[in-house]
Amino acid sequence: MRLSGRNLRCVRGGREVFSALDFSVSSGEALTVLGPNGSGKTSLLRLIAGLLVPADGAIALNGGEAELSVSEQAHYLGHRDALKPALSVLENLSFWRDFLGGEMQDARQCLAAVALDHATDLPAAYLSAGQRRRLSIARLLAVRRPVWLLDEPTSALDAAGQELFVGLMRQHLGRGGIIIAATHLPLGIEAGELRMRGPA
């Protein structure tokens, strides 16, 4: 499987964020997107996730499910943790698992994998920032998709949480998955680099 972008151009709010951008990443590989604030790291992930439309160029996933779009084969983990505060930890994860569909995993096992099995009945409003991030990471496990698009994925995680996430990323890559991560910090896994220029 190979995820690639060719001659990508992104325009937001009438301003060109980047242009003539190419990338390619294959099964079992990770790519880190580096650059200063405003250089287009998040915009690139949102283009791949189908949340933005490129002004030019194309994104393709060769070797994936032909009848599914790239966005239907990718998880996007953004800056903000998409959680309902009034729902419990288990209810939040079950909602996302049911909403996303596809090959589902046991929600309780996914929570155990991110060390949240002790908090299944706790309302998400009571979670710390690091626990909320772990719950968002559990969503990556609840429904298997080959592409993980991660925007500052280790934000709010303590050292133990970062180590746990490194292990989960390695497992995903070991199963032939692909990771593209926009980050200012080292991911803790071997990865190629795509450097974005700063705003003009």
Tens of pLDDT, residues 145-197: 999 999 998 888 999 999 999 999 999 999 999 999 998 877 888 888 888 88
pTM: 0.92
For the cut 70, the answer to whether the pLDDT of residue 141 exceeds it is yes
Confidence (pLDDT) at 200: 52
Confidence (pLDDT) at 100: 84
Mean pLDDT of 29-57: 93
Q: 18-22, 35-39, 43-47: which has the minimum mean pLDDT? A: 35-39
Mean pLDDT of 69-96: 90
Could you give the angle at the alpha carbon of 49 between the alpha carbons of 48 and 50, nearest 5°?
90
Tens of pLDDT, residues 55-80: 999 999 999 888 899 999 999 998 87
Mean pLDDT of 103-127: 91
Q: At what angle do helices 89-100 and 129-142 cross, to 10 degrees?
A: 30
Which structural domains are found in the chain, ordered by start? 2-195 (3.40.50.300)
End-to-end CA distance of the chain: 35
Q: What is the 3-class SS of 143-184, one letter each residue? A: ECCCEEEEECCCCCCCHHHHHHHHHHHHHHHHCCCEEEEECC
Query: Cα(129)–Cα(196) distance, rounded to whole angstroms?
Result: 28
pLDDT above 70 coverage of the chain, percent: 98
